[in-house]
């Protein structure tokens, strides 16, 4: 097992090396200026996100698409992922996560613009979209054929995304939910023991060996009840769940920061200092140095907000919108809420709590806290009364919503590759991966998810960069020349998904 972990870590270090960081951050910066610094239209995007456009073509509302995308992005990456980044890259990783989010807003806008512009319909008239369709339609020749390299880009993105969903969407989230419940909820052993005994478990304490399995089965049941209903059911659930969970978690973090008021400024200074210098933090117990902070900050930032990953545009393509720019503006607000707000709050809560608690620092220096989940649980537990409940409830809701969102992404990608006949088998396999994640997947899954994220990001970023001239031209027309209400009357072709 140790050899396997070493191999996975080596692959992760390679794919998230300097070339990938240059591609990711370079694309964020390039697209920021290519779109005329689209971040300054954030207010317009927030306003559009709560504006209904019922007469526009699409399957779900703009707000429903945003909430479904946020359900997939606001997950364990916002809580455990931040702790993992701090342990591996030091406090400076928080700043690089934040900057990845700020510049990533432009990438989220651009990839969504391309996905909506080149979306198609299935045999029932439902919208399909994403980088795979952008690759296929944008470069189609006049005779109707698609170049081999465009088909390859489409297939690679869909394949990597379908596989990545098993990690980032299913196993990682289920593992995090199981861990936070069994670690922090004292009442769990009693009722799980009763269920385990009913299921036939034996021994003096059946709960010891059955807790993860029972929780895993419950997660599978809750996910299946929603995901088999399709995108409309998923979006309706997410429209109600996401605003509540994000607001509640944000308020909880603000209350914790009020407890940590005296350590907020020192925490901010430490984050900035460690982002640009090789200073070790907390007795050398956490990573240090510019490259470590940059690597893990960017990796966890992408894991959290998924800008450049190409995932959110898949559901954005189903939105009712009169032109690509409107939904692109709405979608880019997801990166703002996810990373610029939620991840930043989590990072500040963790660092300020670590600074204000000597026992936590001692545990870090002794090496008794070696994983992101352990750091996050220990830090929140230091806050009296409200700390652990905020973590447990936030983690459960965030992880559950992420599982829902990524189930849709995986379904759309598998539909592109193999047609609608592959959806049910894929859904069943997705549920199996949720259960496997719940019963024993450790931190190595985070590393595997990092790898698959990078692999699916590459074909997505390439197609967005190739289409950046078109995106810039039409953004100028729709956004900067005041034509956001204009209807794009280009016909939407049908895709053979049988």
Q: What pLDDT, on the 0 to 100 scale, is given for residue 244?
A: 75
Q: What is the DSSP code (8-state) at residue 420?
A: G
Question: Quick one: what percent of the chain has pLDDT higher than 90?
Answer: 16
SS3 473: helix
In angstroms, rounded to a whole number, what is the distance separating the alpha carbons of residues 113 and 316? 9
pLDDT in tens, 374-427: 666 666 666 666 677 777 777 777 788 888 888 888 888 998 898 888 888 998
Asked if the model's pLDDT at residue 186 lies above 60, the reply is no
pLDDT in tens, 13-27: 777 677 777 888 889
Token couple for 212: 């993860």
Asked if the model's pLDDT at residue 200 lies above 60, the reply is no
User: Sorting pLDDT into bands at 50, 70 and 90, what band is 199?
Assistant: very low
Average pLDDT of the residues in 309-314 = 86
Average pLDDT of the residues in 433-462 = 76
Residue bearing the bigger pLDDT, 369 or 302? 302
Mean pLDDT of the chain: 78
- Decide: 85 and 97 in contact? Cβ < 8 Å: yes
Q: What is the torsion angle, in degrees rounded to the nearest 10, for the CA atoms of residue 326, residue 331, residue 335 and residue 337? A: 90
Q: What pLDDT, on the 0 to 100 scale, is given for residue 206?
A: 44
Give the bridge partners for 121, in sequence order: 127, 494
In angstroms, rounded to a whole number, what is the distance separating the alpha carbons of residues 381 and 183? 11
User: Sorting pLDDT into bands at 50, 70 and 90, what band is 110?
Assistant: very high
Q: What pLDDT, on the 0 to 100 scale, is given for residue 39?
A: 93
pLDDT in tens, 260-286: 888 889 888 888 887 777 655 554 445
Q: For residue 462, what are the CA distances in angstroms to 67, 118, 150?
A: 26, 16, 11
* DSSP element (H, E) containing 261: helix 261-276
Q: How far apart are the first and last CA of the chain?
A: 41
User: Sorting pLDDT into bands at 50, 70 and 90, what band is 133?
Assistant: very high
In angstroms, rounded to a whole number, what is the distance separating the alpha carbons of residues 241 and 491? 34
In angstroms, rounded to a whole number, what is the distance separating the alpha carbons of residues 315 and 319? 7
- Decide: 405 and 249 in contact? Cβ < 8 Å: no
User: Sorting pLDDT into bands at 50, 70 and 90, what band is 465?
Assistant: very high
When mean pLDDT is compared across 93-102, 295-304, 428-437, the lowest value belongs to 295-304
Residue 79: other Cβ atoms inside 10 A: 30
Asked if the model's pLDDT at residue 197 lies above 70, the reply is no
Where is mean pLDDT largest: 78-82, 233-237, 322-326? 322-326
Residue bearing the bigger pLDDT, 208 or 475? 475
Helices (H) and strands (E) in the chain, counts: 23, 2
pLDDT in tens, 288-299: 555 666 666 776
Average pLDDT of the residues in 298-302 = 68
Question: Quick one: what percent of the chain has pLDDT higher than 70?
Answer: 74
**Apex 162 CA angle, 229 and 392, nearest 5:** 65
pLDDT in tens, 58-97: 667 777 777 777 766 666 666 666 777 777 777 888 888 8
- Nearest Cα to 71, choosing from 435, 306, 411, 399? 399
Q: What pLDDT, on the 0 to 100 scale, is given for residue 173?
A: 81
- Decide: 380 and 458 in contact? Cβ < 8 Å: no
Question: Alpha helix locations (H) across 382-443?
Answer: 387-418, 423-438
Average pLDDT of the residues in 195-224 = 62
């Amino acid at each position: 097992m140790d050899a396997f972990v070493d191999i996975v870590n080596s692959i992760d270090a390679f794919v998230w090396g300097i070339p990938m960081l240059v591609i990711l951050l370079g694309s964020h910066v390039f697209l920021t200026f290519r779109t005329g610094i689209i971040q300054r239209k954030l207010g317009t995007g927030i306003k559009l996100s709560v504006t209904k456009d019922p007469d526009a073509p699409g399957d779900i509302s703009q707000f429903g698409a945003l909430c479904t995308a946020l359900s997939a992005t606001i997950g364990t990456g916002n809580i455990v992922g931040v702790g993992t980044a701090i342990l591996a890259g030091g406090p400076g990783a928080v700043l690089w996560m934040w900057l990845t989010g700020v510049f990533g807003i432009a990438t989220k806008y651009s990839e969504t613009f391309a996905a909506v512009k080149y979306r198609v319909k299935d045999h029932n008239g439902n919208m399909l979209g994403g980088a795979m369709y952008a690759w296929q339609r944008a470069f189609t020749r006049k005779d109707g054929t698609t170049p081999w390299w465009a088909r390859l880009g489409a297939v690679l993105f869909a394949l990597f995304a379908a596989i990545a969903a098993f990690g980032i969407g299913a196993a990682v989230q289920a593992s995090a939910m199981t861990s936070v419940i069994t670690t922090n909820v004292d009442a769990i052993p009693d009722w799980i023991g009763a269920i385990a005994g009913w299921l036939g478990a034996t021994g003096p304490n059946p709960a010891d060996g059955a807790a993860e399995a029972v929780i895993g089965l419950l997660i599978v049941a809750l996910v299946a009840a929603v995901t088999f209903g399709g995108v409309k059911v998923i979006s309706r659930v997410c429209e109600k769940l996401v605003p509540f969970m994000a607001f509640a978690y944000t308020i909880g973090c603000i209350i914790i920061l009020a407890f940590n008021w005296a350590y907020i400024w020192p925490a901010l200074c430490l984050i900035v200092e460690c982002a640009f210098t090789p200073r070790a933090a907390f007795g050398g117990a956490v990573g240090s140095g510019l490259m470590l902070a940059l690597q893990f900050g960017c990796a966890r930032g992408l894991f959290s907000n998924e800008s450049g990953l190409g995932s959110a545009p898949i559901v954005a393509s189903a939105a009712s919108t009169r032109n690509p720019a409107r939904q692109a503006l709405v979608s880019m607000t997801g990166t703002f809420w996810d990373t610029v707000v939620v991840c930043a709050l989590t990072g500040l809560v963790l660092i300020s709590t670590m600074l204000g608690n000597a026992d936590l620092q001692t545990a870090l220096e002794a090496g008794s806290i070696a994983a992101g989940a352990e750091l996050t649980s220990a830090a929140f537990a230091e806050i009296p009364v409200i700390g652990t409940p905020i973590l447990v409830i936030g983690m459960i809701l965030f992880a559950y919503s992420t599982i829902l969102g990524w189930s849709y992404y995986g379904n759309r990608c598998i539909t592109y590759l193999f047609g609608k006949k592959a959806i049910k088998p894929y859904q069943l396999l997705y549920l199996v991966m949720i259960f496997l994640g719940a019963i024993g997947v450790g931190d190595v899954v985070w590393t595997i998810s990092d790898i698959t994220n990078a692999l699916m990001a590459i074909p997505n970023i390439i197609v967005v960069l190739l289409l950046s001239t078109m995106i810039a031209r039409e953004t100028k027309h729709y956004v900067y020349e005041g034509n956001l209400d204009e209807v794009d009357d280009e016909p939407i072709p049908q895709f053979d998904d049988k």
